[in-house]
Amino acid sequence: MLRTCDILDEKDKRLHEVSEEVKFPLSKEDKDTINTMIEYLHNSQIEELSNKYNLRPGMGMSAVQLGILKRYYVVVHEYEEGKFKNYILINPKLISNSEEIIYVEEGEGCLSVNRPVEGIVPRYARVTMEAYDMEGKKFKVRGREDLAIVFQHELDHLDGILFVDKIDKKNPYKNKNKYRPI
């Protein structure tokens, strides 16, 4: 079982590297990794399991956060109390986005950033992603609000960008009044 300590910390240089495209068919190792990521994210969002296994809660995880420099990530979205939908995006691309910009009012978080971070990260309110599933079939998925934010956050990981890199160092709340908080 994946533990919080298995996730790379922001000081690890690999988190700033660009991940490589995935070749199909997926290896057994990649399939196992994806399933392990889903299990971690699911369990981390259920308070009883999160406490029992000492898991930091998370909604998304990229392969690079486990030291695997491949272009895939997983999102486990609790769309209703106790009901989850899993998203597996392999070789994802953002193909369209809204003009509206939002930010997480209480601040974005990351399983690789183990400290409080002040500031806002402007994100598109709605996005459409194109990616491949585990069988190599291309699909599109739309996300809005928190799902759009996590899709963008994880895509940044694949390009070697952490959310803290997107916060203006001199003015962490720059343009806050121009964007909608969620």
Going by the DSSP 8-state scheme, the letter that residue 143 receives in this structure is E
Positions annotated as catalytic residues are: 154
Q: What confidence score (pLDDT) does residue 35 get?
A: 97
The model's pTM is 0.96
pLDDT of 53 reads 93
Please give the chain's pLDDT, 182 residues, in tens: 888 889 999 999 999 999 999 999 999 999 999 999 999 999 999 999 999 999 999 999 999 999 999 999 999 999 999 999 999 999 999 999 999 999 999 999 999 999 999 999 999 999 999 999 999 999 999 999 999 999 999 999 999 999 999 999 999 999 999 999 99
All structural domains of the chain, each given as residue ranges with its CATH number in brackets, are 4-181 (3.90.45.10)
* CB 108 within 8 Å of CB 153: yes
67: region left, alpha or beta (phi > 0 left; psi from -120 to 50 alpha): left
pLDDT, residue 43, reads 96
- In terms of DSSP H, where are the helices of the chain? 28-44, 47-52, 146-158
